[in-house]
A and B are shown apart, each in its own frame.
Chain A
Amino acid sequence: MKLSELAERLGCRLEGDGDVDIVRVAGLEQAAPGDVTFVSNPKYRSRLSATRASAAILGPPSGDDPPAPCAVLRSDQPYVAFAHAVRMFARGAPPTRGIDRLSAIAPDAIIGSDASIGPFVTIGAGASVGARATIYPSVVIGAGARIGDDCVLHAGVSIREGVIIGHRVTVLDGAVIGSDGFGFAKQSDGTHVKIPQHADVVIEDDVEIGANTAIDRPAVGETRIHAGTKIDNLVQIAHGVSIGRRALLAAQVGIAGSTVVEDDVMLGGQVGVTGHVRIGKGAMASAKTGITGNVEAGVLVSGYPSLPNREWRKTQVLVRHLPDLKKRVAELEQRIAELEEKLAECRTPDR
């Protein structure tokens, strides 16, 4: 594609030769002639001068930018333009439409038009799959589950009985939705009796769920992921949890039972949240934070147990000084004892 055409399709302003042919999108370091690269984080602007790319997608110019060694596509949102460019050059054909003869589909299941069902897919009684949905091989969809239009379920996904999934939902390989919540009642003899977990799980429109993530179903009520939320790999969502709209949960996050995560929350990798608490709208937690109570809307928390980020940073600086602090307290003790002694001496003669 000519760079001038690419600029037009991405809605970018072209600076330089529009006749150059672009064949690929590449990172700054690996880019070669024929590639378009991008810099969205100003931190990496300085690395641009060494690139061999034919063109770079950049944000609005700033005073101290080094001159680009290639043509430039200017955009107010370079990261969005980059995302569109990657989509344009994406390889790989979608799987063929139709139902593979090696699948097992219940006679009363409803399959929408132009769906693609791969080999070794099992679809249970009374389940439905929406139009244009792509179901990769070895997916298991339980009885009565409902999958919306344009969904993509990657290989080995398990959607349990009665789970409801909206439109345009992507579930990556190996994820499990609707597995039994971890609920047991301790008996007087110390054994644990299972509390049946049969209630609802709802995944709303435009949600993405990462590889090998597990979303549990509750005993009563529902587990719900609201529209537009994106969940990374190996995340654990316990029974009865509610995740708001447009939330981002990075890899290996764990959310314990019945917790409510409101809209636009962002949780970094390996964050853990205890059960029955509320994370307010737009709150953020940095990676590996252990959240043991409610978090107010809009606050950034860190550490274990979690504290507002600014406080946590101060305490973390102190951790290194703890041995020294301990020494100083011991010295103070010594000095106070000496002072007390001296004072006692001063007073004795006149008594």
Chain B
Amino acid sequence: MKLRELAERLGCRLEGSGDVEILRVAGIRDAQAGDLAFVASAKYAAELPGTQASAVILGSAPADQPDALPHCAVLRTDDPYSAFARALKLFAHTTPPAKGIDRLSAVAPDAAVGDDVSIGPFVTIGAGASIGARTIIYPNVVIGPGASIGDDCIIHSHVSIRERVALGHRVILHDGVVVGSDGFGFVRQRDGTHLKIPQHAAVVIEDDVEIGANAAIDRPPVGETRIKAGTKIDNLVHVAHGVSIGRRVLLTAQSGIAGSTVIEDDVMMAGQSGVTDHVRIGAGARVGAKSAVLGSVAAGEFVTGHPAIDHREWRKASVVFRRLPSLKKRVDEHEQRIAELEDKLAEPRSPDR
């Protein structure tokens, strides 16, 4: 694609020759001639002079970026990261799997399958389930009876969607995701054994949700587990029964949410963080990596640590944390000096008294 055409399709202002042919999108460091690279963070601006790329997507002249690059063309935009994402989509050369239902699949006779779906080998679709138009289901996926899947979804291999789970449109589930597994609910009996509380209630995944590989979303005994529109969940995340996750939330890998907790819209949780059960994380709140949130968090707050406290407070405390050994040594020395002072004071005063 000519750079001129690319600039137009990405809505960027072209600086330099529009005749150069662009073949690929690449990182700023490993870009070659024919590649389009990008710099969205000031951290990488230093790489610009050395790049071999034919063109670079840049922000609208931030202070720390050169105005012009002699050796390559520039595509200017207010939002270089989004332009990069769109460019990647233009050059993506993944071929979608063939349309149709593979003859080695097991689709219940009364399942409703939409137009132009792709259902791979060894896929099981249970009685009364429905699959929306243009949805792609990769091999070895199991969809339980009565589950409903919207249009334009992509369900990668080995996913299990349990009975009566409802998925909206444009949902992406990565390999090995489980949606609707039994919540971890047991009652301790007098003899110490645990009686299972059947977990049969609803699980709803709304439109445009993406869920990472091997993540598990549990179903509750009553009520529902719900993930609202536009939320993105990373690999190996655990969402317990009865949890409600708001719109546009980001949950990074290996984070975990315990039962009945409410995560409001636009919350961001970093990797390996966890939230206890029956609490509320307010809209737009952020949780630092590996934090343990043991209570509710107000909207817009940023908490970190175990237990999670205000992020600034935690940073101040963690600066001191590494000095604790020296702090302890200083306290020991003070004790010693105070003891010496006390000894001196207790000594009989000089003979002039």
Instruction: Give the B-binding residues of A (Cβ under 8 A).
Output: 25-27, 29-30, 37, 77, 79-80, 82-83, 86-87, 90-92, 100, 102, 118-120, 136-138, 154-156, 170, 172-174, 206, 208, 210-212, 228, 230, 232-234, 246, 248, 250-252, 264, 269-270, 287-288, 303-304, 316, 319-320, 322-323, 325-326, 329, 332-333, 336, 339-340, 343, 347, 350-351
Which stretch in B32-40, B46-54, B56-64, B216-224 binds the other chain?
B216-224
Contact A173 B162 (CB under 8 A): yes
Tell me which of B200, B216, B240 contacts A92 (CB under 8 A): B200
Contact B194 A83 (CB under 8 A): no
Instruction: Give the A-binding residues of B (Cβ under 8 A).
Output: 104, 106, 122, 124, 140, 142, 144-146, 158, 160, 162-164, 176, 178, 181-182, 184-187, 189-190, 192-198, 200, 214-216, 218, 220-224, 236, 238, 240, 242, 254, 256, 258, 272, 274, 276, 292, 294, 305-307, 309, 313-314, 316-317, 319-321, 323-324, 327, 330-331, 334, 337-338, 341, 344-345, 350, 352
Contact A119 B124 (CB under 8 A): yes
- B128 to chain A minimum Cβ distance, whole angstroms, is 11
Neighbouring B residues of A210 by C-beta, 8 Å: 181-182, 184, 216
Contact A83 B195 (CB under 8 A): yes
Neighbouring B residues of A172 by C-beta, 8 Å: 178, 181-182
A91 to B198, CA, bound (A): 10
A269 to B197, CA, bound (A): 19
Neighbouring B residues of A323 by C-beta, 8 Å: 316-317, 319-320
Neighbouring B residues of A25 by C-beta, 8 Å: 221-222
Contact B330 A333 (CB under 8 A): yes
Contact A246 B193 (CB under 8 A): yes
Neighbouring B residues of A155 by C-beta, 8 Å: 124, 142, 144, 160, 162
A78: nearest chain-B partner, CB-CB: B187
Contact B124 A329 (CB under 8 A): no
A325 to B305, CA, bound (A): 19
Contact B238 A251 (CB under 8 A): yes
Contact A212 B313 (CB under 8 A): no
- B96 to chain A minimum Cβ distance, whole angstroms, is 22
Given A27-B223, A228-B193, A326-B327, A270:B272 Cβ within 8 A:
yes
Among A92, A228, A303, the one with the most B-chain Cβ atoms within 10 Å of its Cβ is: A92
Neighbouring B residues of A351 by C-beta, 8 Å: 350
A136 to B337, CA, bound (A): 74
Neighbouring B residues of A30 by C-beta, 8 Å: 222-224
Tell me which of A90, A136, A174, A287 contacts B216 (CB under 8 A): A174
A264 to B193, CA, bound (A): 9
Contact A336 B222 (CB under 8 A): no
10 contacts between A and B (CB under 8 A): A30-B223, A83-B196, A86-B222, A119-B122, A120-B140, A156-B158, A174-B158, A210-B182, A250-B184, A252-B236
Neighbouring A residues of B224 by C-beta, 8 Å: 30
Among B164, B222, B320, B321, the one with the most A-chain Cβ atoms within 10 Å of its Cβ is: B222
10 smallest beta-carbon distances between A and B, as pairs? A155-B142, A137-B124, A119-B106, A173-B160, A211-B181, A322-B320, A211-B216, A211-B178, A288-B292, A233-B216
Contact A329 B327 (CB under 8 A): yes
Neighbouring A residues of B182 by C-beta, 8 Å: 170, 172, 208, 210
Neighbouring B residues of A326 by C-beta, 8 Å: 320, 323, 327
B352: nearest chain-A partner, CB-CB: A350
- A208 to chain B minimum Cβ distance, whole angstroms, is 7
- B114 to chain A minimum Cβ distance, whole angstroms, is 21
Given A138-B124, A156-B158, A174-B216, A251:B240 Cβ within 8 A:
yes
Tell me which of A208, A234, A248 contacts B238 (CB under 8 A): A234
Contact A287 B272 (CB under 8 A): no
A322 to B144, CA, bound (A): 54
Knowing that A102-B104, A233-B216, A322-B320 touch, tell me 9 more A-B residue pairs with CB under 8 angstroms.
A86-B221, A91-B200, A137-B106, A138-B142, A154-B160, A233-B238, A252-B236, A270-B272, A320-B317
A234: nearest chain-B partner, CB-CB: B238
Neighbouring A residues of B222 by C-beta, 8 Å: 25-27, 30, 37, 86
Neighbouring B residues of A339 by C-beta, 8 Å: 341
- B243 to chain A minimum Cβ distance, whole angstroms, is 11
- B167 to chain A minimum Cβ distance, whole angstroms, is 15
Contact A156 B189 (CB under 8 A): no
Neighbouring B residues of A92 by C-beta, 8 Å: 145-146, 163-164, 200
- A199 to chain B minimum Cβ distance, whole angstroms, is 26
Neighbouring B residues of A234 by C-beta, 8 Å: 214, 216, 236, 238, 256
Given A137-B124, A248-B194, A174:B184 Cβ within 8 A:
no
Contact A269 B258 (CB under 8 A): yes
Contact B124 A118 (CB under 8 A): yes
Contact A77 B187 (CB under 8 A): yes
A228: nearest chain-B partner, CB-CB: B193
Neighbouring A residues of B294 by C-beta, 8 Å: 287
A174: nearest chain-B partner, CB-CB: B178
Neighbouring B residues of A83 by C-beta, 8 Å: 185, 187, 195-198, 221
Tell me which of B192, B256, B317, B344 contacts A251 (CB under 8 A): B256
Among A83, A173, A336, the one with the most B-chain Cβ atoms within 10 Å of its Cβ is: A173
A36: nearest chain-B partner, CB-CB: B222
- B41 to chain A minimum Cβ distance, whole angstroms, is 31
Contact B186 A87 (CB under 8 A): no
- B331 to chain A minimum Cβ distance, whole angstroms, is 6
Neighbouring B residues of A212 by C-beta, 8 Å: 176, 178, 214-216, 236
A215 to B253, CA, bound (A): 20
Contact B334 A332 (CB under 8 A): yes
Neighbouring A residues of B218 by C-beta, 8 Å: 211, 233
Neighbouring A residues of B309 by C-beta, 8 Å: 319-320
Neighbouring A residues of B330 by C-beta, 8 Å: 329, 333
A343 to B344, CA, bound (A): 8
Tell me which of B142, B200, B321, B323 contacts A86 (CB under 8 A): B200
Contact B106 A102 (CB under 8 A): yes
A270 to B276, CA, bound (A): 11
Contact B142 A156 (CB under 8 A): yes
Neighbouring B residues of A230 by C-beta, 8 Å: 184, 186, 194
A154 to B179, CA, bound (A): 12
A306 to B46, CA, bound (A): 44
Neighbouring B residues of A329 by C-beta, 8 Å: 327, 330-331, 334
